[in-house]
Chains A and B, each alone.
Chain A
Amino acid sequence: MVALPGVDPSWSAYLDVPSSASADNPGTVRTWHYLDNAAALRESGTEVRGTLLCVHGNPTWSYLWRTLLPAGTKAGWRVVAVDQLNMGFSQRTGVLRRLADRVADLEDFAAAADLRGPLVTVGHDWGGVVSLGFAHRNRSRLAGVVLTNTAVHQSPTRPLPAPLRLALLPPVRRTGTQTTTAFLDITHALARPKLTPEVRDAFRAPYRTVASRKGIADFVADIPRDRSHPSFPALTEIAEGIRTLDVPSLLLWGPHDPVFTETYLEDLTCRLPHADVHRFEDAGHLVQEDADVAGTLFSWLQARDVAADSTGRTGAAPAVGTGPADDRAFSALETRLTEAAAADGSSLAVAEMDAGRVRRSLSWAGLEADIAAVAAGLARSGLGAGSRISLMVPPGVDLTVLIYACLRIGAVIVVADAGLGARGLSRAVRGSAPDAVIGIERALAAARIFGWPGRRISVEELDPARRRLLAVDTSLAELRTPAGAPADVRPPQPDADAAILFTSGSTGPAKGVVYTHRQLSAMRDAVAETFGIRPGGALVAGFAPFALLGPALGVASVTPDMDVTAPRTLTAAALADAVAAVDATAVFASPAALRNVLATETDLSADGRAALQRVGLLLSAGAPIPAPLLERVQALLPDAALHTPYGMTEALPVTDVDLPSIRAAAGDAAAGLPGAGNGVCVGTAVHGARVAVSPLGPDGAADGEPTTEAGVSGEILVDAPHVKDRYHRLWRTEADSARTAPWHRTGDVGHFDAAGRLWVEGRLGHIITAPGGVLTPVGVEHAIEEVDGVRLAAVVGVGPAGTQAVVGVLETDPPLRRKRPGLAEAGLAAGVRAAASAAGAELAAVLTVPALPVDIRHNSKLDRARIAAWAEQTLSGGRVRTP
């Protein structure tokens, strides 16, 4: 083999293997080519824990697994990656090899190569099926199974993916796969980002001639498209056989795959229910090329202790993040709702506002009855414990009913914010693979356009034509109509999954966060206890994540007249109307909503102003609120205790602080209390939660022992009964976030002051590692924002970790006259440099932009990753683009 990028020539080996495949005559010997790190392992002297047997698919070869070999040498794993016969640099046998032959071939190779000790099979594409066939038949030494974009089952009722149907058309098949290099080229073009010319050439190296490509054509021909295909029985045997595999299993997936779509991942998770799953959100079919498969695989082998003993039977290990069964007292999320329905049935439970009036409302008894009816309807239509139901319904009465109905039947609600945008939302829905999507017409249209999986249930009654067009199954009204036998609704287990909530995506693709019923109940208790919310009051639900908690708290809730997905649409008058309609004593609203309330304050009537004066509690979460803004809110709501809890989708909430504490903290910072300052003061841990920080090392990594020592900056850790159970199908992300048990790593950086208050400095990913030391941006940004002429500031690092240059990027006040980003004018730059220097940062450059990018959902979190990338590009020279 010639020298290829990423391959140590010493890995390449050939072996003559007696064949037992039925395709070959007895006594036939076949020559295999494979990559093997055995020599490197011997040289390093590392103790060998076991062997990974890696099987490529079509039309690749063992080159696909090259990153696993050095990683294996380091981790003490022998990695043997074969070229299947007729493929790669292995022998061209001249014989069509079907699935059963290929499984026999692999067994022949494993026997001849004398692979000792525990074995983990690793497969990709159709090689995944072959490796599973081997795993199924060789269980005594099997220690684990790893699969990447593959499939073992083709539903007889569903067509093959379109690209495969095309490839199988007889005229296309021979031309596309063998006569020309089209199939190779198309496969290589699936890499994200695209392959370098050198790597592409390496993938093509064994397939330069028409004759050498016969194996590619034969492989395609062996895809069992229906029951009549000769390989159908072998495939079925494997697909059913693996249901009893109990070894640790890992599914690594690139979702951007036109052939092995998420339907196949879903199928595999049903066959291997104990498997750990990690979806690399941006990766595609060639996931090995697109994502860190090697790093994830070896950290999984380590975490799962695969091959710890010679048998490797550790498959019963619990999934990361789920503890043993818990017998603590549990009160279901709906407990107070049912109590209120029984005790005080006729009083108001939920309401929706429209143009100053209550559009729709339900009493507690009415709410309970409606939930029961919808729950029964859902159960009748076949949904139940463990079903994933995506709710695409704006906050209001219907959403409230649906949430509690789904929870009652044990279904898992999937909630992704429309603020993610169409693409982000679509990624989130696909990744959660719902069994049903319940949505308003607009959402169902998106489901149709983007081809979201799952049955479709409409919230509105649609006319038959729309219904057909959107492929809608049933409607909420039909679910409510009692029909036939009463449904069998059993209460869910406390530790079963209850919800998948999606993060805002302000820090990369949105992540699904899984909560159990017990954790949702704990969230309710944390909110109730921390803010003293007792059953019987009323609240305005202007902030989506907490909106679902009203009935759980036993508190009447009203949705104001606004687009809750766009917080800026809440006006002062709409808020006052909602408060007046239910005599609300509490208001939940986001900072962006509050900004608009203040901006529209002058439109308030005297009655509206009076209603707002009766509010006793305001909760605002989602992003920090500057103290001056809070002071203005206080003037509008003079009797309200203003609380700005800090939290994230993974832990709602973590800490709480009110306006008097914010004032006291600012005073302490000015007076020089140790640790006070450099960030946003978010107060102290909420009821039931503990908070600590894991100190940062000089390289910016948070690997210190958890501490609450004043002035020590580190990654913020939280431990509470209402912290998420795990991330959905993000095994590695979950393992990283839970690596310091029992803490959840938030990815935020902060420190405590001597009074025990937590100060948030920014995201861990936004840490700047300047030569002078580690720096967090928020404190410096606040200092810069005090400079005349600065409206908003972002501080980012450019250049390599450890020696980054610190850069200030500003929105100016007044805004730039010509909307062109560039260097700040000299006087402004000097002022900003001086302010930053006083806050501990020496700026290399000061840039001005017309507008700083902020994330869509909160409309207030700086997208520092994007700003840093822009600054890096701008400061490397070349034309200045808009961030």
Chain B
Amino acid sequence: MTVLVTGASGLLGGAVAALLLSQGTPVRTFQRRPSGVPGAQDELGSLTDPAALGRATAGVDAVIHLAAKVSFTGNPADFEAVNVEGTRALLVAARDAGVSDVVFVSSPSVAADGTSCAGAGAAPAAPERARGDYARTKGLAELLALGSSEPGFRVAAVRPHIVWGPGDTQLVQRVLERARAGRLPVLDQGTALVDTTFVDNAAAAIVAALHRIEHVQGRALVVTNGEPRPIGEMIAGICAAGGVRPPGWSVPGAVARTAGSMVERAWRRSGSTQEPPMTRFLAEQLSTAHWYDQRQTRELLAWVPEVSIDEGLARLAAHFRAPGPRIEIRTS
């Protein structure tokens, strides 16, 4: 059985590909840059290129689709093209190629509405209520993917919440960069309880979804470490692992959310391609509770997280202490 992993140049995609390979499953990857996963067969290309998709899906049995435009801000049309139309094209190509199983990697934000969420299950995606283009387009794509599930072409969606780990260029790197530059506020007092997922656990859950597809087809499952923590404590833990002083100032969440919206609009008008310092989406993520009921997920996937948060933070610290290549922390 060969598995196509899209988006394998990212932290989670790379971990999924590596895990499959370690289990003896041949892996083909598909993204614009080389995956850097030893042993994987890279097929380079874009989700917007049907011919490339045809090449990527030819001869594979299953697809794990992680590639997406992930950002807090940007041109709505780009999100639409990659996340919605790209997924649609991939599904078509996969079905044409005789693929039988698909795991669509999604995000709990597809069902979030900006209010706090404590111990909830996986509600259906609600793109009409989504906060921002990323969540909206991922939600549309998830509905598309799950809607196409049928016997012979089984599709499941897995929604890991806030994935982090060594090599993370999203959460970890941003937290450390901003903390080092003194630009990372803790919203309110950082007491919002937030679920996160250590990268190895998320990868294992995604692969489990493929193995257990007969139990999870047509469903969306939220995946987390099942160890919610106050966001302030989580950020402090990441800073400590990276050897950076944790942020010491706090901003009321409501102020940050309003400011985030304004910054977001101004940034978009300025045409900058950089991420803005604070967006409304980020402010909401950092100032409201986001934790989930994991009982059904664990039962359906027959999976439990192997790496605890404390163990994950220890691995992160070891990664930063180790000599050799590591992500560069820009201070500007």
Given A829-B233, A844-B193, A877 and B291 contact (CB-CB distance below 8 Å): no
Given A771-B295, A876-B118, A877-B191, A845 and B229 contact (CB-CB distance below 8 Å): yes
> Which of B54-62, B145-153, B182-190, B197-205 has 4 or more CB atoms under 8 Å from chain A?
B182-190
Which of A803, A826, A879 contacts B293, CB < 8 Å?
A803
Interface residues of B in 220-240 (CB under 8 A from A): 226-230, 232-233, 236, 240
Q: Kindly state whether residue B162 has any CB partner on chain A within 8 Å.
A: no
Question: Which residues of the other chain, A, contact B193 by a CB distance below 8 angstroms?
Answer: 798, 805, 844-845, 875-876
Report yes or no: A845 in contact with B233, Cβ–Cβ below 8 A. Answer: yes
Report yes or no: B187 in contact with A877, Cβ–Cβ below 8 A. Answer: yes
Question: Which residues of the other chain, B, contact A201 by a CB distance below 8 angstroms?
Answer: none
CB distance from A801 to the nearest CB of B (A): 9
Given A876-B289, A877-B289, A803 and B294 contact (CB-CB distance below 8 Å): yes
Q: Kindly state whether residue B119 has any CB partner on chain A within 8 Å.
A: yes
Q: Kindly state whether residue B192 has any CB partner on chain A within 8 Å.
A: yes
Complex-state Cα separation, A844 to B310, whole angstroms: 12
Given A800-B119, A878-B253, A771 and B294 contact (CB-CB distance below 8 Å): yes
Report yes or no: A876 in contact with B288, Cβ–Cβ below 8 A. Answer: yes
Complex-state Cα separation, A545 to B240, whole angstroms: 55
CB distance from B201 to the nearest CB of A (A): 15
Question: Which residues of the other chain, A, contact B291 by a CB distance below 8 angstroms?
Answer: 799, 805, 844
Report yes or no: A798 in contact with B189, Cβ–Cβ below 8 A. Answer: no
Report yes or no: A878 in contact with B287, Cβ–Cβ below 8 A. Answer: yes
Complex-state Cα separation, A129 to B227, whole angstroms: 57
Q: Kindly state whether residue A296 has any CB partner on chain B within 8 Å.
A: no
- Which of B119, B192, B236 is the most central at the interface, judged by chain A CB atoms within 10 Å of its CB? B119
Complex-state Cα separation, A473 to B236, whole angstroms: 68
CB distance from A252 to the nearest CB of B (A): 33
Q: Kindly state whether residue B170 has any CB partner on chain A within 8 Å.
A: no
Which of A805, A826, A877 contacts B119, CB < 8 Å?
A805
Report yes or no: B287 in contact with A877, Cβ–Cβ below 8 A. Answer: yes
Complex-state Cα separation, A878 to B189, whole angstroms: 8
- Which of B118, B240, B294, B295 is the most central at the interface, judged by chain A CB atoms within 10 Å of its CB? B118
Q: Kindly state whether residue A507 has any CB partner on chain B within 8 Å.
A: no
Q: Kindly state whether residue A804 has any CB partner on chain B within 8 Å.
A: yes
Complex-state Cα separation, A844 to B228, whole angstroms: 6
Question: Which residues of the other chain, B, contact A872 by a CB distance below 8 angstroms?
Answer: 118
Report yes or no: A803 in contact with B119, Cβ–Cβ below 8 A. Answer: yes
Which of B188, B289, B294 contacts A880, CB < 8 Å?
B188
Question: Which residues of the other chain, A, contact B39 by a CB distance below 8 angstroms?
Answer: none
Q: Kindly state whether residue A241 has any CB partner on chain B within 8 Å.
A: no
Question: Which residues of the other chain, A, contact B229 by a CB distance below 8 angstroms?
Answer: 844-845
- The A contact surface, by secondary structure, is mixed
Interface size for B (C-beta < 8 A) is: 29
Which of A771, A799, A845 contacts B191, CB < 8 Å?
A845
Complex-state Cα separation, A880 to B288, whole angstroms: 12
Given A803-B294, A823-B232, A845-B229, A880 and B189 contact (CB-CB distance below 8 Å): yes
Complex-state Cα separation, A258 to B233, whole angstroms: 50
Report yes or no: A876 in contact with B116, Cβ–Cβ below 8 A. Answer: yes
Contact with A along B93-132 (1 / 0, CB 8 A): 0000000000000000000000010111000000000000
Q: Kindly state whether residue A847 has any CB partner on chain B within 8 Å.
A: yes
Q: Kindly state whether residue B243 has any CB partner on chain A within 8 Å.
A: no
Complex-state Cα separation, A847 to B233, whole angstroms: 11
Given A823-B191, A877-B192, A878-B253, A845 and B119 contact (CB-CB distance below 8 Å): no
Complex-state Cα separation, A826 to B227, whole angstroms: 17
Report yes or no: B294 in contact with A875, Cβ–Cβ below 8 A. Answer: no
Q: Kindly state whether residue B252 has any CB partner on chain A within 8 Å.
A: yes
Interface residues of A in 829-861 (CB under 8 A from B): 829, 842, 844-845, 847
Contact with A along B288-330 (1 / 0, CB 8 A): 1101011100000000000000000000000000000000000
Which of B118, B226, B252, B289 contacts A879, CB < 8 Å?
B252
CB distance from A327 to the nearest CB of B (A): 55
Complex-state Cα separation, A405 to B293, whole angstroms: 60
CB distance from A319 to the nearest CB of B (A): 41
A872 to B, closest residue via Cβ: B118
Complex-state Cα separation, A95 to B119, whole angstroms: 57
Q: Kindly state whether residue A616 has any CB partner on chain B within 8 Å.
A: no
Report yes or no: A874 in contact with B227, Cβ–Cβ below 8 A. Answer: no
Interface residues of B in 241-276 (CB under 8 A from A): 252-253
- The B contact surface, by secondary structure, is mixed
Q: Kindly state whether residue A802 has any CB partner on chain B within 8 Å.
A: yes
Complex-state Cα separation, A771 to B228, whole angstroms: 12
Complex-state Cα separation, A780 to B283, whole angstroms: 34
CB distance from B238 to the nearest CB of A (A): 12
Report yes or no: A822 in contact with B191, Cβ–Cβ below 8 A. Answer: yes
CB distance from A881 to the nearest CB of B (A): 11
Question: Which residues of the other chain, A, contact B236 by a CB distance below 8 angstroms?
Answer: 826
Report yes or no: A845 in contact with B252, Cβ–Cβ below 8 A. Answer: no
Complex-state Cα separation, A173 to B228, whole angstroms: 59
Report yes or no: A842 in contact with B227, Cβ–Cβ below 8 A. Answer: yes
Complex-state Cα separation, A267 to B65, whole angstroms: 72
Report yes or no: B233 in contact with A879, Cβ–Cβ below 8 A. Answer: no
Given A803-B119, A877-B116, A823 and B227 contact (CB-CB distance below 8 Å): no
B250 to A, closest residue via Cβ: A822
Complex-state Cα separation, A680 to B286, whole angstroms: 40
Which of B120, B191, B252, B253 contacts A875, CB < 8 Å?
B191
Complex-state Cα separation, A629 to B119, whole angstroms: 40
Question: Which residues of the other chain, A, contact B252 by a CB distance below 8 angstroms?
Answer: 879
Question: Which residues of the other chain, B, contact A842 by a CB distance below 8 angstroms?
Answer: 227
CB distance from A54 to the nearest CB of B (A): 36
Question: Which residues of the other chain, A, contact B230 by a CB distance below 8 angstroms?
Answer: 823, 845, 875
CB distance from A229 to the nearest CB of B (A): 54
CB distance from B227 to the nearest CB of A (A): 7
Complex-state Cα separation, A845 to B233, whole angstroms: 9
Report yes or no: A803 in contact with B191, Cβ–Cβ below 8 A. Answer: no
- Which of A771, A823, A877 is the most central at the interface, judged by chain B CB atoms within 10 Å of its CB? A877
Report yes or no: A844 in contact with B187, Cβ–Cβ below 8 A. Answer: no
Report yes or no: A800 in contact with B191, Cβ–Cβ below 8 A. Answer: no
Complex-state Cα separation, A736 to B236, whole angstroms: 47
Which of A771, A822, A829, A844 contacts B189, CB < 8 Å?
A822
Question: Which residues of the other chain, B, contact A874 by a CB distance below 8 angstroms?
Answer: 191
CB distance from A872 to the nearest CB of B (A): 7
Report yes or no: A878 in contact with B188, Cβ–Cβ below 8 A. Answer: yes
CB distance from B220 to the nearest CB of A (A): 17
Question: Which residues of the other chain, B, contact A799 by a CB distance below 8 angstroms?
Answer: 118-119, 291
Complex-state Cα separation, A799 to B191, whole angstroms: 15
Contact with B along A339-356 (1 / 0, CB 8 A): 000000000000000000
Interface residues of A in 769-811 (CB under 8 A from B): 771, 798-800, 802-805
CB distance from B246 to the nearest CB of A (A): 9
Question: Which residues of the other chain, A, contact B119 by a CB distance below 8 angstroms?
Answer: 799-800, 803-805
Report yes or no: A803 in contact with B188, Cβ–Cβ below 8 A. Answer: no
Question: Which residues of the other chain, B, contact A804 by a CB distance below 8 angstroms?
Answer: 119
Complex-state Cα separation, A38 to B166, whole angstroms: 64
Complex-state Cα separation, A847 to B120, whole angstroms: 22
Question: Which residues of the other chain, B, contact A876 by a CB distance below 8 angstroms?
Answer: 116, 118, 192-193, 288-289
Given A771-B226, A845-B230, list of 13 further CB < 8 A pairs? A802-B293, A803-B119, A803-B293, A804-B119, A829-B233, A842-B227, A845-B191, A875-B289, A876-B289, A877-B116, A877-B191, A878-B253, A879-B188
10 closest A-B pairs by CB: A799-B119, A877-B192, A875-B193, A876-B116, A877-B288, A803-B293, A876-B289, A800-B119, A799-B118, A822-B189
Between-chain CB contacts (< 8 Å), 28 pairs:
A771-B294, A799-B118, A799-B291, A800-B119, A800-B120, A800-B293, A803-B119, A804-B119, A822-B189, A822-B191, A823-B233, A826-B236, A826-B240, A844-B193, A845-B191, A845-B229, A872-B118, A875-B230, A876-B116, A877-B187, A877-B188, A877-B191, A877-B287, A878-B188, A878-B192, A878-B288, A879-B188, A880-B191
Q: Which residues of A contact B (CB under 8 A)?
A: 771, 798-800, 802-805, 822-823, 826, 829, 842, 844-845, 847, 872, 874-880
Q: Which residues of B contact A (CB under 8 A)?
A: 116, 118-120, 187-193, 226-230, 232-233, 236, 240, 252-253, 287-289, 291, 293-295
